[in-house]
Amino acid sequence: MRALIKGAGVVGLAFAHELTARGVEVTVAERQPDFGGAASWFAGGMLAPWCERESAEEPVLTRGIAAIDWWDRALPGEVSRNGTLVVAPPRDAGELKRFASRTSGFEWLDAEAVTALEPALAGRFREALFFPGEAHLDPRRALSLLRQKLVESGVALIGETDSDGGYDLIADCRGAARISSTAGLRGVRGEMLYLQSDEVELSRPVRLIHPRIPLYIVPRGNGLFMCGATMIESDDGGPITVRSLMELLNAAYALHPAFGEARLLETGTGVRPAFADNLPHINRAGNTIALNGLYRHGFLLSPALAEEAADLALAWNLKGDAA
């Protein structure tokens, strides 16, 4: 069986990985091989199914739990299993309790336990939620390493192509590029920052419950932090807005005043493709299968989506339906 995957974002690469593992000959076509067009390049890389359940449907939890082990198997040594810490200023303590009421898999921490877990936050928060089963990775490293692994496994990487001939399976994994041509698919704009500070050290993602923007800060090592992210109903991929920049910086400062002296290294925006239910869909037409709509859960749900789609594709092929 020969497959052509269009799109080398996180879901395209995950699907290529699953097909290759099943013995399929895979070619991946991508118009921007440097990941410049992929929303996943601007992702937080948080593998946080329990936290995400606060604002997402149950399938995000049930399908996302296995993602941590999947990424650990695919890229050994790249996953940090340090959990997630959720905090709130004293004035928003009620919001922290609301967050807890909508999630599971957490432990309540008092101020002393917060300090033991993250010394940099000593004295800043009276209580917090700790989700020990969660993890995170660096999405840029993960994308690059997964692509390298696929090439070493025999996957061919080519530029954008209009020729679908000679393939048993065509997989469309082009994400937001399909917004105007896929029924029901919309764009959700996300904005992020990269900050560098020698005064703050964190061991895990920290989520700050905030009245306007629920901030998350993900450590990347060597004093580098990814801060995000807004969720705006728009498919505008232009530069970050002044309002979003100020609110993200203000929220980072609220987490720790030392971020007021941090260096702003990068701002970025990505358009996340989403359907009305904010869940990913697998759609088939003839020998073409489309994987799309991962919303803000690209790294969390791509493994499950890729496994499901690979199993379906091989089942169709064995029946002769993909010919």
CA–CA gap between residue 209 and residue 87 (Å, rounded)? 6
Residue 65 pLDDT = 97
The three-point CA angle 46-72-79 to 5° equals: 40
- The H or E element spanning position 28 is strand 25-29
Residues with pLDDT less than 50, the chain: 322-323
Q: Return the CATH number of the domain spanning residue range 84-132+186-274.
A: 3.30.9.10
CA–CA gap between residue 131 and residue 120 (Å, rounded)? 18
Residue 47 in tokens: 């593998």
32-52 per-position pLDDT tens digit: 878 877 889 999 999 999 999
Report yes or no: 11 and 303 within 8 Å, Cβ to Cβ.
Answer: no
Report yes or no: 169 and 3 within 8 Å, Cβ to Cβ.
Answer: yes
| DSSP per position, 260-316 | GG-EEEEEEEEEEEE-TTSS-EEEEETTEEEEE--TT-HHHHHHHHHHHHHHHHHHH
Residue 32 pLDDT = 82
- Per DSSP, the three-state class of 190 is strand
Residue 318 pLDDT = 62
Residue 38 pLDDT = 84
Domain ranges within the chain, ordered by starting residue = 2-65+137-183+276-318, 84-132+186-274
Residue 44 pLDDT = 95
Residue 308 in tokens: 């499901």
Residue 261 pLDDT = 97
CATH class given for the domain over 2-65+137-183+276-318: alpha beta
Cis peptide before 229 (omega within 30 of 0): yes
The three-point CA angle 190-196-201 to 5° equals: 105
Pairing label, strands 156-158, 169-172: unpaired
Looking at residue 150, its amino acid is L
What is the maximum span of the chain, computed from C-alpha positions, in angstroms?
A: 64
Q: How many residues does the chain have?
A: 323
Spatial CA neighbour of 64 closest among 274, 297, 272: 297
Number of H helices, E strands in the chain: 9, 16
Residue 322 pLDDT = 43
Residue 323 pLDDT = 41
Residue 58 pLDDT = 97
The three-point CA angle 134-140-145 to 5° equals: 95
Torsion angle defined by CA atoms of residues 197, 223, 295 and 55, in that order, rounded to the nearest 10 degrees: -70
Residue 243 pLDDT = 93
- Per DSSP, the three-state class of 207 is strand
Residue 312 in tokens: 């379906």
**Residue 233 DSSP class:** S
Residue 6 pLDDT = 96
153-195 per-position pLDDT tens digit: 999 999 987 778 889 999 999 999 999 999 999 999 999 999 9
- The H or E element spanning position 20 is helix 10-21
